[in-house]
Structure 1
Amino acid sequence: MKSSLSIISEDKISKVTIENGELISFKKDNQEYIHQKGDKGWRNSDDEMFPVIGPTSKNNFRVHTKNGNAVLDQHGLLRELEYRLISSDENSAKFIKKYSKNTLVNNSKFPDKSTEEKLYWPFDFIFEKNFTLENEALNIEFIISSEKGMPFMLGYHPAFMLSDTGKETLQTGKKIITLKDVYKAGSNAFPVLETDKIILKNIDKNDLEITTVGFHNFMLWTEVDNMLCIEPITQYTSYTDQKFSEQNMHLSAGKNSFSVKIKTI
């Protein structure tokens, strides 16, 4: 059963709507910035990629860890789990997912897009997603609790509404990226590496500045003019001979925190 809630900034100018832990609306001055579910482009508004990023089919859907092999599909298994609301007030909301090691999880890509019916991961983890709406920005924090040394990658996958003109651009430092650049990258997604800030230059409303802590990279994906996914990621795997093993992943400190700030400018 779907359940939604809204949080409002203290100045009452910004409003965020969250449905089962998914960010489905961010409005400021009555302007919508989030891709709407049901519109062309992508079926969701936001999602997470954990504990791996990218397609695992080249590894026969196996990921090697010190606790044995895992079976994971593209972008891991976190998105197959359901968020539970922990707390909320006028300006904030906290959600959580818990996973017990080696629990079999149904793969929503099976059988149409995958040969693997069940997924599993050989580590316990707790994944928290916390929203805080301030007057100037929306803050989203991710907290991962697990045993020390657990390998992982993390990606956040929000989709932003565009004007449907194809004229939006992005800026990181002095570099300008066009939607044509993103289209050319295709399913690999366009890499924007070693940066914690990117600006979406909108045509029909204020620009968006997206800053992160802990990710250090972005990738960009779209196939249409009306939306764009701007995805903070810990690692970019599409253009490499990435082997899905813990030697090529981050190792947990026991508790790891990452954050994303979305600000109109």
Structure 2
Amino acid sequence: MVKLKNKDCTVGIDAGELVSFVCDGHEFIHQKGSPGWGSSDTEMFPVIGPLDKANFRIQTPKGEAIQDQHGLLRQIPYELILQTESTAVFVKEYLAGTKVKNSKYPAKSTEPFMDWPYSFRFEKSFELKEGALEIVFRISGEEGMPFMLGYHPAFKLHTDTPVIIANDQKISLDEVLAVGSRAFQVPDCTAVTLKDKKNITIETKGFGHFMCWTEVRNMICIEPISFYPYAVEQKDLDKGFQYLKDKAEFKVVIKPNL
């Protein structure tokens, strides 16, 4: 477990996963073991969304790739490469064509392995600053590699009637629950505030959109995304790709409003 701290907040990171963010005694992150989801954060890369109705295949400029929901990155372990009192940097590296075991098989998938025809390096860095936790994603790899990126953090809810504020729109927990597994779309948005017992704001750079998901009342996932996957049929999910130009950087800043 990696721990970051300053005078106001502490952060817990388990193998690259944000498992705790406590400020003034208030826990903002969904805890593993609580109802709703078995994780507390993850990344969606190089695809976002399900592909079960497309035979778990997606088109790339180098041909078909086998992917499952939200991509193969989450199946690869992080390596910690740097740690200080206020920062931690984790890396995943992938060699083109390598078979990656699919944890969804056989219960939820017909594919025991996933693959991707491009090599890449994926870096996730945390920095605890005064009044904010900054998370930066840096992607490097082959020129022209197609990809989508989504960040999938889960926030603990402390009241029955939290509200999400996005582009002056008020979104209730009931509205998110009603959409179900598709996730509530929040297009063209770079900052969202979750109003609960204590408020928190998620500011982003590079993503452009959000989606919100939960199936319980004690947590909510507020997810910065580069593409909303349900905007197209699964067979056309490749329309959501952007293409790597040497390197790409995406940023998420989580600011408690204490």
Question: Deviations along 1:188-226, whole A, 9 cap, x unmatched?
Answer: 000001010010001x2x200110000010000001111
Distance 2:30 2:132 in 1: 18
Partner of 2:168: 174
* Identity among equivalent pairs (%): 48
Partner of 1:213: 205
Aligned residue for 2:228, secondary structure, equals: coil
Distance 2:193 2:22 in 1: 17
Q: CA RMSD in A?
A: 1.1
Which of the residues 25, 28, 52 maps onto 1:30? 25
Partner of 1:117: 112
Question: Deviations along 1:172-199, whole A, 9 cap, x unmatched?
Answer: 1221000010011100000001010010
**Corresponding letter in the other structure for 2:207:** F
Aligned residue for 1:15, secondary structure, equals: strand
Cα displacement (A) at 1:67: 1.4
- Unpaired segments ≥5 residues, structure 2: none
Q: Does 1:7 align with 2:4?
A: yes
- Unpaired segments ≥5 residues, structure 1: none
Aligned residue for 2:207, secondary structure, equals: coil
**Aligned length, in residue pairs:** 257
Aligned residue for 1:232, secondary structure, equals: strand
Partner of 1:195: 189
Structure 1 runs (4+) greater than 6 angstroms displaced: none
Q: Does 1:68 align with 2:60?
A: no
**Corresponding letter in the other structure for 2:96:** K
Distance 2:230 2:180 in 1: 11
* Higher mean displacement: 129-138 or 236-245: 236-245
Check whether the contact 2:51–2:234 (CA below 8 A) recurs between aligned residues: no
Cα displacement (A) at 1:30: 1.4
Distance 1:220 1:246 in 2: 22
Question: Deviations along 1:158-182, whole A, 9 cap, x unmatched?
Answer: 000001x430011012210000100
